[in-house]
Structure 1
Amino acid sequence: MVKCIGVLTSGGDAPGMNGAVRAVARTCLNKGIKVYGVRLGFQGLFNGDFIEFDRTSTRNKINLGGTFLKSARFPEFKDPEVRKQAIEQMKKVGMEALVVIGGDGSYNGALKLTEMGVNCIGIPGTIDNDIPHTDHTIGFDTALNTIVDALDRLRDTSSSHQRCTILEVMGRYCGDLAINAGIAAGAEIIITSESGFDEAEVIERLKASKASDKTHAIVVITEHITDVNQLAKNIEVATGFETRANVLGHMQRGGRPSARDRVLGSRMGIYAVELLEAGKGGLCVSEVSGKITGLDITEVLSEKRVADNGIYEDAMKLR
């Protein structure tokens, strides 16, 4: 039976990570398992930057955004020698297994450690919802609500000034944020990597909208598709709509986690400990049709998640 487990957060922060860390810590303590928090992700694992948790360590953390364990990019972890040194740091405190909370890069690190004899379980913590085979990732719901709130505010001023407003949101490889936010906020146009981007088509649709006495418009677009400031200029010249571009940026990552993310993080954290207690590694925790389960990390990493075509088709019916 495992006697000591570590937990770290890696990659981009996501609201709800603290709830997952708290759940790992409290589940371990309730089972008599020693538990350490690892500061600064895999970098902290390499440096031996550990905090032994007790019952008070995760008190008043579930409601906080970001990650109190902090996160850091550490590409050096790809080097097997660096991983060996990290394992030696774990051995110094008796840490036998690890819970890794993050995205696909974090999953890769967890898989490599498992292959070297240290059981690891991944938990999907990323606002983009871009991890395959899970209904939702921790942080997605909070980020989505942040975007919808921003769109509601932008619509107020767009309507007042009869403008077209473009909002660029995160989700480079998966358009779930843009599609769901666009539907929820009643956007006229939603552009994602899955939908493709045709500037001429966008302009024609906005021309038609303006001709139908529509006095304002909202366009939601995922990042890295086009220069939104230049797009705004082109739309204004072609349609006569005064147009403004906005980039929401890292505001999408911050803020107190929604109830949905707090509960999801808690359930996933509990299950991760149960998997390690059963002697399993190389798995990631997923939500499938509302049920928490464990899947092979290799299988998950072999695919790229894209936005649900059904959701996008529904969005097109509402325009």
Structure 2
Amino acid sequence: MKKIGVLTSGGDAPGMNAAIRAVVRKAIYHDLKIYGIRYGYQGLIDGNITEMELGSVGDIIQRGGTVLYSARCEEFKTEEGQRKGIEQLKKHGIEGLIVIGGDGSFRGAEKLTEKGYPCIGVPGTIDNDIPGTDFTIGFDTALNTVIQAIDKIRDTATSHERTYVVEVMGRHAGDIALWAGLADGAESILIPEQPDNFYEVIEKLKRGHERGKKHSIIILAEGVGNAVEYGKRIKEEAQFETRVTVLGHTQRGGSPTAADRVLASRLGARAVDLILEGKAGRMVGIQNNVLVDHVISEALAQEHKIDLDMYKLSNELSI
């Protein structure tokens, strides 16, 4: 193999640039030509492909977002879209592809592999919802962004003696909410992996109020529901002054933490190793701080699981 490509797809995540840098420099170290594909699978279909050099990834390890840009591409889910992408790979002589993204991006990599183009997936998503790896690139940075925001919200909640409902991202996974809630001492954490016991939240608020507690923070994962509606229900049921903050896409931006930079560098470099070893249709990950790789289809067939011991602990500490 002499030429490989790299793209980022789906939602951006802090640390994607560090992964791109690792892929490019590791490839060049092994005398491979490396091509950057801009705008994900849409860019692959359109032929938005450029050869990358060492200087192409200079001074990007600390930057959020992705220098290759990203886009969602419905066309690539079709046989015709995949055919167009393969034509572009043939045109540029690209023999293997490294895909940085989430589960949807991995499914595209799987399709290309089935059609004879070896792909390796690198998990990049703030949601931390990819089975087969303890952590995904971007999760730690997003988590710290949320924690910093909640710290500031708690100052205001204390000053005005209010209950705040804070909605965080995570799609169908509750990792951001759980980790941030435990780290910030939230009174209640609502995640899609556990039943939403609204009246248990209300009882906890009332117990706190009875012992003199004047403010509370409730963390709501977006997969549970709408924070505005939840805040209205609390105000109506408990008669507590309630405010809502939806953190939104601030969670996806910012300079990646050291943990994300290191993780991205390790995973990106390992992806190149797998390509050179002749592996295909696999994803890299980290489990118990050891780099691992799995067949993409087998990994995605597994259910994403949350650490229920952490959830139990958060309830025990927020009595």
So what's the TM-score if we normalise by structure 2? 0.98
Where do 5+ consecutive residues of structure 1 fail to align?
Answer: none
Q: How many residues in Structure 1 have an aligned counterpart in Structure 2?
A: 318
1:40 aligns with 2:35: no
Q: Does the Cα contact within 8 Å between 1:5 and 1:34 map onto a contact in 2? A: yes
The answer to whether structure 1 residue 112 and structure 2 residue 133 are counterparts is no
Q: How does 1:282-301 map onto structure 2 within 5 Å? A: 282-301=281-300
Mark the runs of 5 or more structure 2 residues left unpaired by the alignment: none
* Aligned residues of 1:7 and 1:99 also touching (Cα < 8 A): yes
**More deviation, 189-198/111-120:** 189-198
Task: State how far apart, in whole Å, the 1-side matches of 2:269 and 2:223 are.
Answer: 36
2:250 alignment partner in structure 1: 251
Q: Which whole-Å deviations, capped at 9, do the CAs of 1:164-188 have from their partners, x for residues lacking one?
A: 0110001132111101100111101
Which position in structure 2 is the counterpart of 1:55?
54
Correspondence for 2:85:
86
What per-residue deviation string (whole Å, max 9, x for no partner) do you get for residues 187-218 of structure 1? 01001011221222211211111111001100
1:33-53 alpha-carbon deviations (Å, 9 max, x no partner): 000010000011111101211
Displacement after TM superposition at 1:128 (Å):
0.5
1:293 aligned counterpart, secondary structure: strand
Whole-Å Cα distance in 2 between the matches of residues 150 and 55 of structure 1? 36
Aligned to 1:305: 304
Aligned-partner SS, 2:217: strand
User: Residue deviations 1:201-248, cap 9 Å, x none?
Assistant: 211211111111001100001004233222222222332321101100
* Alignment-derived partner of residue 153 in structure 2: 154
Contact 1:43 1:72 in 2 (8 A): yes
- State the TM-score, normalizing by the size of structure 1: 0.98
Residue 144 (structure 2) aligns with:
145
Note if contact 1:130-1:304 (Cα within 8 Å) is conserved in structure 2.
no
Superposition map of 1:92-131 within 5 A: 92-131=91-130
Cα offsets for 1:283-313 (capped at 9, x unmatched): 0001011011211101111022131112111
Following TM superposition, the consecutive aligned residue runs of length 4 or more in structure 1 with deviations greater than 6 angstroms are none
The one-letter code matched in structure 1 to 2:303 is K
Residue of structure 1 equivalent to 2:64: 65
1:107-154 alpha-carbon deviations (Å, 9 max, x no partner):
100000000000000000000100012010000000000000011000
Displacement after TM superposition at 1:161 (Å): 0.5
Give 1:212-227 correspondences, 5 Å limit: 212-227=211-226
| C-alpha distance in structure 2 between counterparts of 1:227 and 1:85, whole Å | 39
Percent identity over the alignment is: 50
Greater mean deviation of Cα atoms: 220-229 or 127-136: 220-229
- In 2, distance between residues paired with 1:244 and 1:101? 37
Please report the RMSD computed on the Cα atoms of aligned residues, expressed in angstroms: 1.0
Partner of 2:210: 211
